[in-house]
Structure 1
Amino acid sequence: MTFHRMWAELLPIGRSPVSGGYHRFAWTGADTDCRAWFRQQAEERGLAYETDRNGNQWAWLGDPAAGDAVVTGSHLDSVPDGGAFDGPLGVVSAFAALDELRARGVRFARPLGIVNFGDEEGARFGLACVGSRLTAGALTAAQAHRLTDADGVTLPRAMEAAGHDPDALGPDPERLARIGAFVELHVEQGRALDLSGDRVGIASAIWPHGRWRFDFRGEANHAGTTRLDDRRDPMPPYAETVLAARREARLAGAVATFGKIAVEPNGVNAIPSLVRGWLDSRAADQESLDTVVAGIEKAARDHAAAHGVDLDIVRESFSPVVEFDHVLRDELARILGARTGVPVPVLGTGAGHDAGILSGRVPTAMLFVRNPTGVSHSPAEFAAEDDCLAGVAALADVLEGLART
């Protein structure tokens, strides 16, 4: 089956020989190789290929200008040392589903598109879903031009070095107006399907979530000669805030994670002058998320004051709850239920996706493929081959039901 060939071709790109994890960051060499792979898949199938003004890649069967197109796909970039399935499974499955539909002899009444959205993970420039945000107008060109990576390279400079014109960045309402439905297949980032014994599920909603930066500013000094009582050390209040985040999230049935930290001057024998930590928090509803973040902020300020440390808190990004289009969601459930004869589970997710960004502009839906461990954003991320193929079959059934003559 074509799924195996495509997966084998994509698997080595950007993979660490040490950890087995992936480093496919936006507008780097690995990203360029992934983009070349996507274009090759489109051309091998005789699909019309194009790159839009924001660097997203599209492959079309039929004329997209006809409108009411059915689009599927995901992304190919990764988090640092990420897993093989998050994003790529949706893109590979899209091409494999098209192959399956052609083998069935399906004729389409609506254009069919496959997309690879750029910089979904935000690993390089710190903002998730850059490609889809720009397309949907949720990120302005001016804001995009100010994004920089850890080396001070701006997004426009990185895009230009990779051969894309950064001056073209911006909203793309004409393209979105051509899309009648967008369905994204993704590996489940959790164990709900494994616990229920189902191979494939349908997404109901994406939890509200955001990222906050906490800057604890103290005073650098000698680690061996400065009395504990004389220190303005930003590390203890940061550490206490990490523990507070865990407590607040547990009380609210939410999640909160400090997963990234920067320390200055970052010396073993130096008391830090700055500890900067990034909080990621998500909850099932807005009220719960607000409660968690407010509790973490209060704890951080209290601990900073107790240690004589200054604190700045900046919300860097936020996405409200996303309820996927109910009509489209119900249609997916009807199509898949008719095929299997049993109800398909519908579940929420705490992970953000391009489908969530687009949901305010076009009808969107998501399919999840079982993840037996629930591990994601890690080299240990995994989905069994049979489950992946079940996902391809489900996506093919959905596309046939939505787009055929």
Structure 2
Amino acid sequence: MSLLDDIADVGVDRRRGGYSRHGFDSAELELRSWFIASAEARGLDVETDRNGVLWAWWGTPGDGAIVTGSHLDSVPGGGAFDGPLGVTAALEAVDLLRARGFQPRKPLAIAVFPEEEGGRFGVACLGSRLMTGALSPDKALALTDPQGITLAEAVRSAGLDPLRFGRDPVALARIGAFVELHVEQGRGLTVPVGVASSILAHGRWRFTFAGEGNHAGATLMGDRRDPMLPAAALVAAARRAASAVPGARATVGRIVPTPGGTNVIASTVDVWLDARADDTPRTRSVVEAVSSAAAEAAREEGCTVSITEESYGDTVVFDATLRDDLASHLGGVPALPTGAGHDAGILAAHVPTAMLFVRNPTGVSHAPEEYATPEDCAAGAVALANVLEHLSR
């Protein structure tokens, strides 16, 4: 039985389907406690670093360690595999190595990063961005969730000290190589396990349209300054802009009108754009096209628009030497790019980093239909164990 079965009831979303587990909420905190208990049951020493990253050590902690792991949080209504598969496979890999009688010559650790999806505070890979200094602690701690709770308040409630958050050179120095196992988020893999070659450049932008709130029945159509119209225009513009750039993707997955009444013309509408492409110039060209269309639509409706870049990551090309070494060690498995961001992608600018993918027959991710067969999950755990044994000799 997979360790995924142990956590199958945590964070089930009865309204959306799938799971809603967000950074430092009750579901994610329950999963963190589960991980600590599972790691300690295996004789691993667990610690929490200054940014809330969990570390489970096999051997004495030290620099140059071989580190694996992933995250336990999800998008709203996400699948069961994105994140937790990498954590459970890491624990299962330890079991497999112990059964082989293997003893690592280098420190070996499992790391669990908080708020990778950005589902609560809006910035993806929050833990790894803080660790590497890609995100300032002041900006991070001021982030708010939909209920207005700041990250500082959330981590304090979880027993962490927000004043300690920030770049952590000590933690970075401990990572000699990082290998993250993840379910593939597409249908490119036709064998059980593969390796990642690269991650698309990608980011998130918030567009805030401001108009005039008013009565839906008493306000004539010609008298309106309705911010929902330019918001709708942005959605259509995103499809056009991405379609004009080969390989680009643009998505509007969240729209929040204020005040949000059925019989009320909104006063403001916030729209979040997710844009991705092969490189920064292509990604930026998509965002510029969408921004131009949004500004024009706002002017036509007598509204204004402001644009905030909430996060951005350039194209990541994983360490070629490490990638090829792992692919060869696993019998020549294929290497493939991904359009999804990961903590491994943030760490790649600082330490040798690689990713293993487990086949996803549905090709669906960030949704309840996300899937990997038990056999492929088991193959992923074996592949990870083989990689960890190879790297930590």
Judge same fold: TM > 0.5, yes or no: yes
- Quickly name the TM-score band, shorter chain normalised: over 0.9
1:314 corresponds in structure 2 to: 308
Instruction: State which of 211, 214, 226 in structure 2 corresponds to 1:233.
Output: 226
| Superposition pairs of residues 4-403 of structure 1, within 5 angstroms | 4-65=1-62, 67-193=63-189, 197-252=190-245, 253-337=247-331, 343-403=332-392
CA distance in 2, matches of 1:237, 1:18: 29
Calculate the TM-score normalised by the size of structure 2: 0.97
Residue 38 of structure 1 aligns to a residue whose secondary structure is: helix
CA distance in 2, matches of 1:167, 1:311: 34
Structure 1 residue 16: Cα displacement = 2.5
Residue 155 of structure 2 aligns to a residue whose secondary structure is: helix
Q: Deviations over 1:164-197 (max 9, x none)?
A: 222221211012112110000000111111xxx2
CA distance in 2, matches of 1:234, 1:49: 50
Give 2:371's aligned amino acid.
Answer: F
Residue 219 of structure 2 aligns to a residue whose secondary structure is: coil
Give 1:280's aligned amino acid.
Answer: D
Structure 1 residue 348: Cα displacement = 0.9
Residue 194 of structure 2 contacts residue 327 of structure 2 at CA under 8 Å; is this kept in 1?
no
Q: Percent identity?
A: 56
CA distance in 1, matches of 2:144, 2:300: 34
1:340 corresponds in structure 2 to: none
Residue 371 of structure 1 aligns to a residue whose secondary structure is: coil
CA distance in 2, matches of 1:248, 1:260: 18
Structure 1 residue 115: Cα displacement = 0.9
Q: Would the alpha carbon gap of residues 237 and 27 (structure 1) be closer, same or farther in structure 2, given more than 3 Å must change?
A: same
CA distance in 2, matches of 1:372, 1:70: 30
Structure 2 unaligned spans of 5+: none
CA distance in 1, matches of 2:116, 2:122: 10
CA distance in 2, matches of 1:344, 1:81: 32
Q: Deviations over 1:104-128 (max 9, x none)?
A: 2223221110011111111111111
Residue 300 of structure 1 aligns to a residue whose secondary structure is: helix
Structure 1 residue 17: Cα displacement = 4.0
User: How many residues are aligned here?
Assistant: 392
Residue 328 of structure 2 aligns to a residue whose secondary structure is: helix
CA distance in 2, matches of 1:264, 1:35: 35
Q: Would the alpha carbon gap of residues 149 and 18 (structure 1) be closer, same or farther in structure 2, given more than 3 Å must change?
A: closer
CA distance in 2, matches of 1:315, 1:96: 39
CA distance in 1, matches of 2:380, 2:284: 35
Q: Would the alpha carbon gap of residues 316 and 5 (structure 1) be closer, same or farther in structure 2, given more than 3 Å must change?
A: closer
Structure 1 unaligned spans of 5+: 338-342
Structure 1 residue 59: Cα displacement = 0.6
CA distance in 2, matches of 1:33, 1:396: 26
Residue 64 of structure 1 aligns to a residue whose secondary structure is: coil
Structure 1 residue 230: Cα displacement = 2.0
CA distance in 2, matches of 1:278, 1:20: 22
Q: Would the alpha carbon gap of residues 289 and 32 (structure 1) be closer, same or farther in structure 2, given more than 3 Å must change?
A: same
Q: Would the alpha carbon gap of residues 88 and 268 (structure 1) be closer, same or farther in structure 2, given more than 3 Å must change?
A: same
